[in-house]
Chain A
Amino acid sequence: GENVEQHPSTLSVQEGDSAVIKCTYSDSASNYFPWYKQELGKRPQLIIDIRSNVGEKKDQRIAVTLNKTAKHFSLHITETQPEDSAVYFCAALNSGYSTLTFGKGTMLLVSP
């Protein structure tokens, strides 16, 4: 099955800095890669996703890049704000079973 590795496990930045979270996956047939944001005690919510037919997708301060050859994808957050503080999860589609496999999460702390 799919295996997703996510790094770093924690990331501390100053407000206004950029933050980058990286994930690798094992299933070369995976073609869908969503990112979820989870605030403390709440449900994960989709913030951006990318399909394998594109290499980059951007939505305001958030962007995701995908390198299919290297089997890794990354989340980029620019001009970080304190409200960006949360746990971020990457995921990859398990092509054999049509389910998502999640990384272990990155706790992002943005200091004012």
Chain B
Amino acid sequence: DGGITQSPKYLFRKEGQNVTLSCEQNLNHDAMYWYRQDPGQGLRLIYYSQIVNDFQKGDIAEGYSVSREKKESFPLTVTSAQKNPTAFYLCASSSRQASGNTIYFGEGSWLTVV
């Protein structure tokens, strides 16, 4: 768990602004994920990446973008097109695809729109 670092932990965004959440892992994991957590909604998948330079949309990708230029890094940009971005964002990784391999989570980033 300690090998996944998210920053910042708290972030305030003005409406109309893009913000980028950082996620770095030193676990040598191939796969990385971004989840969004809202009260009573569980964890919903935004984007995931199984290898460098490749990523796929999850269930709620609209208004978000990602990149995977390095194995260790998977930043998430919350764009102005995301109408309700206030949430707790969790980055995660696993050794390969999630097919039976444990997913480990970072400590999360709280994003609030002001």
Residues of A within 8 A of B (CB): 1, 6, 9, 31-32, 34, 42-46, 49, 51, 89, 93, 95, 97-105
Query: Which residues from chain B contact A1 at a C-beta distance below 8 Å?
Result: 59
Contact yes or no, A98 B43, CB < 8 A: no
Q: How far is the CA of A105 from the CA of B102 in the complex (A)?
A: 18
Contact yes or no, A34 B102, CB < 8 A: yes
Q: Name A102's contact: one of B40, B43, B48, B100 (CB within 8 Å).
A: B43
Q: How far is the CA of A102 from the CA of B106 in the complex (A)?
A: 17
Q: How far is the CA of A79 from the CA of B21 in the complex (A)?
A: 40
Contact yes or no, B50 A98, CB < 8 A: yes
| B side interface size, CB within 8 A | 27
A4 CB to nearest B CB, Å: 8
Residues of B within 8 A of A (CB): 1, 31, 33, 35, 40-45, 48, 50, 56, 58-59, 90, 97-100, 102-108
Q: Closest A residue to B40 by CB, please name it.
A: A104
Q: How far is the CA of A104 from the CA of B39 in the complex (A)?
A: 9
Given contacts A43-B106, A43-B107, A43-B108, contact A99 B90 (CB under 8 A): no
Contact yes or no, A98 B98, CB < 8 A: yes
Q: Could you jot down 22 A-B contacts, CB within 8 Å?
A: A1-B59, A6-B42, A31-B100, A32-B98, A32-B99, A32-B100, A34-B102, A42-B107, A43-B105, A44-B90, A45-B1, A45-B105, A51-B100, A89-B43, A93-B100, A98-B31, A98-B50, A98-B97, A99-B48, A99-B58, A102-B43, A104-B40
What are the nearest 4 A-B pairs in CB distance? A98-B97, A104-B42, A43-B105, A102-B43
Contact yes or no, B105 A99, CB < 8 A: no
Q: How far is the CA of A99 from the CA of B99 in the complex (A)?
A: 7
